Amino acid sequence: MKPLDNIQLGTLIDSYRVEERVARSGVASIFKAIDTRNNQIVALKVPHPDIEADPILFDRFQREAAIGERLHHPRVMRVFTGDKRSQIYMVMEWCEGRLLRDILKDGKLDQERAKRISIGILEALEYIHDNGVVHRDLKPENIMVDAENHVKLIDFGIAGDGSARRLTYANFGSTLGTPDYISPEQVKGKRGDGRSDIFAMGVILYEMLTGAMPFTGSTPMQVMNDRLVNHPVPPSVLNSSISPQLQEVIYRALERNPVNRYARAHDFAHDLKHLDQVGVENRSELRTWQKRRVRLPRTIVYYIALGLIPVAILVLMVLVARSH
């Protein structure tokens, strides 16, 4: 099967009639389509024509389809299977609403809305983690929110099996997650698990409540370095309405050491639902956050360089194969 190219509106792909293009990424385009067998609205995710020539991206696309087809939860976008298809593409549930990223462009959210959205995301994370999946790229671009603030977790392009030997973001390339949201242990090239998604959720909650990012820098490497050596501006400094209890929840999600972080998404959600039961620690972060370190440690350069080695070998293998 060959990838589709130059898709025109009204094109019939098997039983699906393309209505409009709604998104485009480095890997694929997403189209709104109608299943002519039952008039159901669906989303088609169609890889770009050159994806088969890129083993990393093609594997990413196939893995996303395989993971999506086995997940069935109201907070997770469904991927449909069972059709015999003439081309390479995914058929997905059509989700109404707006991307959380687009919502955040309007400014920070009120606390009740931010908590409700967060709890919905955490319910989705609890489900996928219980099913052995780590999202690995949790960010506002991958979260759909409807008019009632119900969420759908979308895009499992770089998701991985939670029992995998090594989940890392050190391979700074096409399979890299977004530097703003990845966890400190992944920056260091260490094993990532469900707690890495919890860290990303902590970043998202911080962003929803303050309108700012907890870790910053002028380059992706500086952003990653910032979470290793600095503490974020306390959320209550940026938004005085944030209670000590809610701030404590954010800090627990953003713990640099995953051992000190929430162990499960359920625990994170429980505290958001019962803030009156959250004990507030006397955190040094609240006293030392203004002491900023900007020097990029040689260790992070080492980890990133180490992670690039297998990518370089794979690229070399592809170039050699193409030359024969």
- Tracing tokens 């994170």 back to the chain, one arrives at 268
Nearest to 116 by CA among 96, 101, 131, 100: 100
Do 168 and 278 have their domain in common?
Answer: yes
Asked whether the predicted pLDDT for residue 6 surpasses 80, the reply is no
* Residue 188, pLDDT score: 86
Please write the tens of the pLDDT for every residue from 276-285. Answer: 999 999 999 9
* Residue 56, pLDDT score: 79
Please write the tens of the pLDDT for every residue from 112-138. Answer: 999 999 999 999 999 999 999 999 889
Do 85 and 137 have their domain in common?
Answer: no
User: What are φ and ψ of residue 160, in 5° steps?
Assistant: -145, 165
Do 60 and 106 have their domain in common?
Answer: no
Asked whether the predicted pLDDT for residue 232 surpasses 70, the reply is yes
In a domain, 312, yes or no: no
Q: Which of 54, 59, 130, 137 does the annotation list as catalytic? A: 137
Do 83 and 201 have their domain in common?
Answer: no
Asked whether the predicted pLDDT for residue 25 surpasses 70, the reply is yes
Q: Would you state the structure tokens that stand for residue 180, as one six-digit string?
A: 């703003």
C-alpha 26/C-alpha 211 separation (Å) is 27
Could you tell me if 159 and 68 are in contact, meaning their C-beta atoms sit under 8 angstroms apart? Answer: no
* Residue 163, pLDDT score: 41
Is 137 in the active site? yes
* Residue 181, pLDDT score: 94
CATH (domain of 48) = 3.30.200.20
* Residue 106, pLDDT score: 95
In a domain, 168, yes or no: yes
* Residue 301, pLDDT score: 57
Do 130 and 234 have their domain in common?
Answer: yes
Confidence band of 88 (pLDDT split at 50, 70, 90) = confident
In a domain, 313, yes or no: no
Do 127 and 216 have their domain in common?
Answer: yes
Do 133 and 227 have their domain in common?
Answer: yes
User: What are φ and ψ of residue 65, in 5° steps?
Assistant: -65, -45
Residue 72 CB: number of other CB atoms within 10 A?
Answer: 11
* Residue 176, pLDDT score: 47
C-alpha 71/C-alpha 67 separation (Å) is 7
DSSP string, 127-181: HHHHTTEE-S--SGGGEEE-TT--EEE---TT-EETT-S---S-S-STT---TTT
Asked whether the predicted pLDDT for residue 101 surpasses 90, the reply is yes
Question: Which residues are 88's β-sheet partners?
Answer: 3
Please write the tens of the pLDDT for every residue from 201-211. Answer: 999 999 999 99
User: What are φ and ψ of residue 264, in 5° steps?
Assistant: -135, 150
Do 123 and 29 have their domain in common?
Answer: no
Question: Which residues are 13's β-sheet partners?
Answer: 16
* Residue 166, pLDDT score: 34
In a domain, 130, yes or no: yes
Domain extent at residue 166: 98-307
C-alpha 88/C-alpha 72 separation (Å) is 22
In a domain, 2, yes or no: no
Q: Which range scores top for mean pLDDT: 6-20, 174-188, 298-312? A: 6-20
Could you tell me if 153 and 142 are in contact, meaning their C-beta atoms sit under 8 angstroms apart? Answer: yes
Nearest to 29 by CA among 43, 47, 12, 8: 47
State how many domains the chain has. 2
Do 79 and 35 have their domain in common?
Answer: yes
In a domain, 4, yes or no: no
Cα 154 off chain centre by: 8
Could you tell me if 67 and 131 are in contact, meaning their C-beta atoms sit under 8 angstroms apart? Answer: no
- Tracing tokens 């005085």 back to the chain, one arrives at 240
User: What are φ and ψ of residue 273, in 5° steps?
Assistant: -75, -25
Could you tell me if 297 and 161 are in contact, meaning their C-beta atoms sit under 8 angstroms apart? Answer: no
In a domain, 324, yes or no: no
